[in-house]
């Protein structure tokens, strides 16, 4: 993907606010598509503090969320109580376990 064009955001905002037609603005800033124009305009608004920043990407994992579980002699999987409490599970909850490409999936199946 090519890098974004360097544009004067303040100038773009001023021209849009003046009521100039989109096609004229696109021609002046040499935008190829309306989507490209909108993306630059939104970035300019966010940098100017006129629109809130859009958070993107995955959320960062909480520190130390991965915990080890133990398989007992009888084949039971033991999940630490702190994890059970954190996920809101209660005694008697049922789960479906299945093998996935990345490991196993544990999904609540009913309460």
pLDDT digits (tens, 9 = 90+) for 14-54: 999 999 999 999 999 999 999 999 999 999 999 998 888 77
* 30 in a structural domain: yes
Find the CATH number of the domain harbouring 86. 2.10.260
Is the pTM here over 0.75, yes or no? no
* 74 in a structural domain: yes
Domain that holds residue 74: 70-110
* 25 in a structural domain: yes
22-48 b/e (C-beta count within 10 Å ≥ 16 → b): eeebeeebebeeeeebeebbebbbeee
Mean pLDDT of the chain: 84
Q: CA–CA separation, 20 vs 42, rounded Å? A: 17
């Amino acid at each position: 993907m090519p890098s974004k064009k360097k544009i004067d955001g303040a100038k773009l905002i001023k021209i849009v606010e003046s009521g100039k037609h989109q096609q004229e603005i696109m021609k002046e800033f040499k935008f190829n598509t309306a989507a490209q124009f909108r993306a630059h305009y939104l970035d300019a608004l966010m940098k100017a503090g006129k629109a809130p920043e859009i958070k993107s990407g995955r959320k960062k994992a909480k520190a130390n969320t991965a915990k080890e579980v133990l398989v007992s002699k009888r084949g039971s999987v033991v999940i630490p109580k702190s994890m059970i409490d954190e996920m809101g599970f209660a005694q008697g909850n049922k789960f479906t376990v299945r093998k996935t490409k990345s490991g196993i999936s544990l999904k609540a199946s009913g309460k």
